[in-house]
């Protein structure tokens, strides 16, 4: 019975480490989709000058984890402002992607055409910088999560003996 308890402790720490490693990949995927969204919005605004909701309806992503984000963002029954919609949808994202999304909502529709394109360029550069930083540290972070957590579980189980 004692060995079974020790096995449960080690396996729970290992599972937690793997879950955190997968979570760090999710953050990178969300940032990539937001960079694609910013580019899509910028192209839509510069070429067609359509309203933002028409541009958003034309955006497609294969990332399944972002579907609920876009459903909340493009809700036809929601009559909130652009900033409020983006802020509500951003609550589904990780911290870095949430900051970019809220900034994007605040920037859209609040300034002249040329200024809006400059702000979108700045947001894209900011998101790309976050993405490159996250990508550079991803391998090391995953290794830490998948090695340290099982070792901590093993130490805790030894201390329980």
| Residue 71 maps to a domain | yes
| Residue 78 maps to a domain | yes
Domain that holds residue 65: 28-136
| Residue 141 maps to a domain | no
| Residue 79 maps to a domain | yes
| Residue 11 maps to a domain | no
Cα separation of 148 and 56, whole Å?
42
| Residue 55 maps to a domain | yes
Q: Dig out the tokens for 80 from the structure.
A: 């909130």
Q: With b meaning 16 or more CB within 10 Å and e meaning fewer, what string describes 34-63?
A: bbbbbebbbebbeeeeeebeebbeebebee
Number of domains in the chain: 1
| Residue 101 maps to a domain | yes
Q: What is the rounded average pLDDT of the residues 106-123?
A: 83
Give percent of the chain above pLDDT 90. Answer: 22
Q: What is the pLDDT of residues 134-153, one digit of tens each?
A: 889 998 999 999 999 999 99
What is the pTM (predicted TM-score) of this model? 0.77
| Residue 1 maps to a domain | no
Q: What is the pLDDT of residues 59-99, one digit of tens each?
A: 877 777 787 788 777 776 766 777 888 888 888 888 888 88
């Amino acid at each position: 019975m004692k060995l079974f308890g020790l096995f449960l402790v080690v396996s729970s720490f290992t599972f937690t480490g793997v879950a955190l490693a997968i979570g760090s990949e999710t953050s990178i995927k969300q940032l990539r989709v937001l960079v694609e969204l910013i580019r899509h919005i910028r192209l839509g605004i510069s070429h067609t000058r359509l309203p933002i909701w028409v541009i958003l309806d034309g955006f497609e992503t294969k990332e399944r984890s972002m579907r609920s984000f876009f459903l909340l963002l493009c809700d036809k029954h929601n009559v909130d402002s652009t900033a409020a919609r983006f802020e509500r949808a951003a609550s589904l994202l990780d911290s870095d992607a949430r900051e970019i999304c809220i900034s994007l909502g605040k920037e859209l529709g609040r300034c002249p055409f040329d200024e809006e394109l400059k702000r979108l360029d700045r947001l894209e550069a900011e998101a790309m910088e976050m993405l490159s930083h996250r990508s550079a540290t991803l391998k090391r972070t995953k290794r830490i999560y998948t090695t340290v957590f099982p070792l901590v579980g093993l130490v805790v189980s030894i201390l329980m003996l």
